[in-house]
Amino acid sequence: MKVTIFGSTGDLGIQCLMQALDAGHEVTVLVRTPEKLPKILASKITVITGDALLFDDVMHSISESTDAILFAIGVDEKTSPQDLCTNATKNIIKAMRSNDVSRFVWCGGGSNILKEDVITFGSKFVRWYAEVFLKHRHTDKEHQISLLEENDDLDWIGVRPLQMKHGIKKEKYQLGFNAYSGFSKITFSDCAHAMINMLVDDTWIRKSPIIQY
């Protein structure tokens, strides 16, 4: 499968990149700073220098032969532009439609409560905390998932982690609309594992389940 990854130099993105290669996928990445990619990985992929906020750059990274998109762009509360993920996704969807690409696998956030979720004190606390202390990130992800829901003819699919941390890939975790709280955790490597599986698994099409241990 030919996959284009956005956000490949971040903690989650680099895991997506490594695991996509391990799974035998042919990978293209769009990065602003290619030097951030480990040389051993850069030699195995197609690297395009550019910005996901610029449509022409996004178009250069997605072609008619692209099978799927992996979206792992993160939001820095202090430095990221407003609606970074949402605006990048708008460009990606436009390029996907131009090239007849349907599969979009993304990483959202656990603070964005969906109608399928089990609503508990813990989930309400997570949302409150994000609205107060992580408002930039929370609002962007709210807008991004609303955008995806408007494009319900595409095969978008994703995960919503809570606390992400470094650690080994266990390949054992909960994926679904289970109760969660601010104590729910997942490693970057297992979050990436779920996303890589979603490239070929239709179980959660047009859904974004919580991922946690």
The predicted structure's pLDDT at residue 58: 98
Mean pLDDT computed over 117-133: 95
200-212 pLDDT, tens per residue? 999 999 999 999 9
**What are 106's strand-pairing partners?**
71, 158
| CA–CA gap between residue 194 and residue 212 (Å, rounded) | 11
Our count of domains for the chain comes to: 1
35-79 pLDDT, tens per residue? 999 999 999 999 999 999 999 999 999 999 999 999 999 999 999
The predicted structure's pLDDT at residue 104: 98
The predicted structure's pLDDT at residue 14: 98
**Domain of 201: which CATH number?**
3.40.50.720
| CA–CA gap between residue 1 and residue 24 (Å, rounded) | 8
The predicted structure's pLDDT at residue 162: 96
The predicted structure's pLDDT at residue 9: 97
Q: Is 188 helix (H, G, I), strand (E, B) or coil?
A: helix
The predicted structure's pLDDT at residue 203: 97
The predicted structure's pLDDT at residue 115: 94
Exposure string over 82-99, b if 16+ CB within 10 A, otherwise e? ebbbbbbbbbbbebbeee
Contact 199, 171 (CB under 8 A): no
For the chain, the 3-state helix, strand and coil shares in percent, each to the nearest 5, are 40, 20, 40
Query: What phi and psi, each to the nearest 5 degrees, are found at residue 105?
Result: -105, 125
pLDDT tier at 186, thresholds 50, 70, 90: very high
**What are 29's strand-pairing partners?**
5, 47
pTM here is 0.96
Task: Locate all alpha helices (DSSP H) within 62-173, ordered by sequence.
Answer: 84-98, 121-133, 135-150
Average per-residue pLDDT for the chain: 97
Contact 154, 104 (CB under 8 A): yes
Exposure string over 140-177, b if 16+ CB within 10 A, otherwise e? bbbbbbebbeeeeebbbbbbbbbebeeeebeeebebeb
List the domain range (segments joined by +) for residue 25: 2-212
pLDDT tier at 170, thresholds 50, 70, 90: very high
Interhelix angle 84-98/135-150, rounded to 10 degrees, is: 20
| CA–CA gap between residue 93 and residue 112 (Å, rounded) | 21
How far are the Cα atoms of 69, 103, 133, 181, 195 from residue 157, in angstroms, in the given order?
10, 8, 27, 22, 9
Read out DSSP for 39-67? Answer: HHHHTTSEEEE--TTSHHHHHHH--TT--
